[in-house]
Amino acid sequence: MAVWIQAQQLQGDALHQMQSLYGQHFPIEVRHYLSQWIEGQLWDAIDLENPQEEFKAKRLLDSLIQELQNKAEHQVGEDGFLLKIKLGHYASQLKVIHLIETFFFFMSQKYQQINQAFEELRLLTQDTENDLRKLQHNQEYFIIQYQESLRIQAQLTSLATLPPADRQLREPALLSKRATVEAWLTREANTLQKYRLDLAEKHQKTLQLLRKQQTIILDDELIQWKRRQQLAGNGGPPEGGLDILQSWCEKLAETIWQNRQQIRRAEHLRQQLPIPGPIEELLNELNSTITDIISALVTSTFIIEKQPPQVLKTQTKFAATVRLLVGGKLNVHMNPPQVKATIISEQQAKALLKNENTRNDSSGEILNNNCVMEYHQTTGTLSAHFRNMSLKRIKRSDRRGAESVTEEKFTILFESQFSVGSNELVFQVKTLSLPVVVIVHGSQDNNATATVLWDNAFAEPGRVPFLVPDKVLWPQLCDAINMKYKAEVQSNRGLSEENLVFLAQKAFSSSSNNPDDYRSMTMTWSQFNRESLPGRNFTFWQWFDGVMELTKKHLKPHWNDGAILGFVNKQQAQDMLMSKPNGTFLLRFSDSEIGGITIAWVAENPNKRMVWNLMPYTTKDFSIRSLADRISDLNHLLFLYPDRPKDEVFSKYYTPPLSKAVDGYVNFPFLSSCSSIPCGCLLSVSCGRSDSMLDTDGDFDLDDTMDVARHVEELLRRPVESQWGGQQS
């Protein structure tokens, strides 16, 4: 607890600085009550740049929350009651996942280094402030002495009117006094010039450190935050809050403004007492540099906190939030600026970044595209919340080659104008959203998502809008689709190495089972979502997206349970099942149909033992009856591969066989209780006619049987009174 004990001894500015480190992102009460535990943890052992360390970081945060909850539970008495509630509230706050990164930044070495640099800047700024006051004092005394020399000169001039005897009596003393004052003025002028040069050199050092600190915060930390925001669009971890970044940017703004005011005061002193020398040029250079620094800070901290949707459908409401991280410190909120949103094309975005005249062109019309920035006193944030924007129309450009409309990228341009420092500086700020693909129909969503995923995954910081590589290494693509898969399915179970090998075989039409064979292979955009897979009428992405959609909507619990192998081809399924007992089955995604899953099982045929494959189930089928219930209906399915009894795996998901009537309707199992329906119409090989539903490859032909099945479903949906006649009475 030594560090926290020392912190409690701080006073004055140092105490205020320490307090400013804490806030909503990490309450000071948590630091106080858990000081011993916090200081006993190895925070620096976690590499924040390494995604593999995420689990370790989460585990440490979970431990912190548990410690906080334990502390809250042990509070007793009247005073302890409120503290118990307060600490419990903080524990709940810390469970919000975006605080993970905030917390570890707080404890990390990098955070300490940045704050050490701010402390150095504070001391340098305080030093130049003291020097400036000393210079001003000396200059004022110099001016007084200079006025004294002028008075002596005037007295000497007036001696000419006196009689020679009086003049000779008084003149030597005045000449001696004038010589003494002029000698002092000469020495003092040189001293003042040295003070001015020394002060200018100190300001140069401060500005160098300011530039370095600003580069770290804007070009490293803020760019990394934006990159995390972009990857979050692909399902990556949340980008984290902006509280720490804003506090750093505000400190930069405060320090820059203090130094700018000092340089202006130094220039005023120079104008007040011009002394020949290089100081005028130095001050002009300093003033230009500090203006560049603050301009870069203001324009770079006008950011999009909440991005608009990257697949944007016309005539559909959408939202976005823009924030100025230095708005509070520079008093921009005193005259809240208005922000305007415009949709522009990729070419217009390129021209904008080259400062070319775009003639205020737009590529469409956005409704409700103006918003005034609001200052929130409690959080110190200045932001504009666009809540009800809608893209009324879009103007598309001429497409290149094989490019489709779902490959065309747009961006939302947010722009504003405001002044700081009593209109001393006027800023025109602009920021571009992540690339947006505009669609007019839901059927385009699949291909538009592919464009967005590729861009988010492989865009490089500082690129020309919106260039991305045409081909990437297979392992890079694996990372991107695995991230997307886990986010869409909302599962911690991602794609295994075996799954990725299966996908590589599909993507490259390869038969190799060795993961190393694919590590150096590249996949082009065309292979990803422009060219159809061999022998199919869909692309690699369209097939993969269909798997995600099916799993997300109907198969998530089974995927999480590990019941679905999924990424297994027909031959692999046969090889796996032939060594297992009859009735062993597995679930694999269909190779031939988008968004389909099939059941493969091993069973005896009159002539030989073989593996059968059921025709794929799709979302349409599962909207009628769930996977678990369908597996329950199929009596010949006994063991889920490799050897788990099916009821052990799926019974918790079975629909109860009987349920009470609600509003005249009864929830009735589709198959298992319908004894009056001919068994040949049911999807169970235990019935006598089951083989007639299998084709020569072991696939069920459901064209006829599904018509009957849907007819049964319709019967079961009828009101009880019409279905059962007078039996209700």
Q: pLDDT tens-digit profile of 224-279?
A: 899 999 999 998 888 777 888 999 999 999 999 999 999 999 999 999 999 888 99
Under a CB-based contact definition with an 8 Å cutoff, are residues 340 and 467 in contact? no
Angle at 522 between CA 521 and CA 526, to 5 degrees: 140
Buried b (16+ CB within 10 A) or exposed e, 266-300: bbebbeeeeeebebeebbeebbebbeebbebbbeb
- The first and second tokens of residue 202, run together, are 């100190």
Q: Look at residue 706 in the predicted model and tell me its pLDDT.
A: 47
- The first and second tokens of residue 683, run together, are 């999807």
* CA distance linking residue 114 with residue 207, whole number of Å: 16
| pLDDT at residue 311 greater than cutoff 80 | yes
Tell me the mean pLDDT in the region 149-167: 86
Which of 38-42, 203-207, 224-228, 636-640 is predicted least confidently?
38-42
SS3 state at 578: coil
* CA distance linking residue 107 with residue 109, whole number of Å: 7
**In this predicted model, which residue has the larger pLDDT, 218 or 697?**
218
Percent of the chain scoring above 70 in pLDDT? 82
586-642 confidence digits (pLDDT tens): 999 999 899 999 999 999 887 788 998 989 999 999 999 999 999 999 988 999 999
State pTM to two decimals. Answer: 0.73
Q: Look at residue 712 in the predicted model and tell me its pLDDT.
A: 44
312-358 confidence digits (pLDDT tens): 999 999 999 999 999 888 887 778 889 999 999 999 999 888 876 65
Q: Look at residue 357 in the predicted model and tell me its pLDDT.
A: 65
CA 199 to chain centre: 42
Average pLDDT over the chain, rounded to an integer: 83
Q: How confident is the model at residue 674 (pLDDT cuts 50, 70, 90)?
A: very low
Tell me the mean pLDDT in the region 357-371: 83
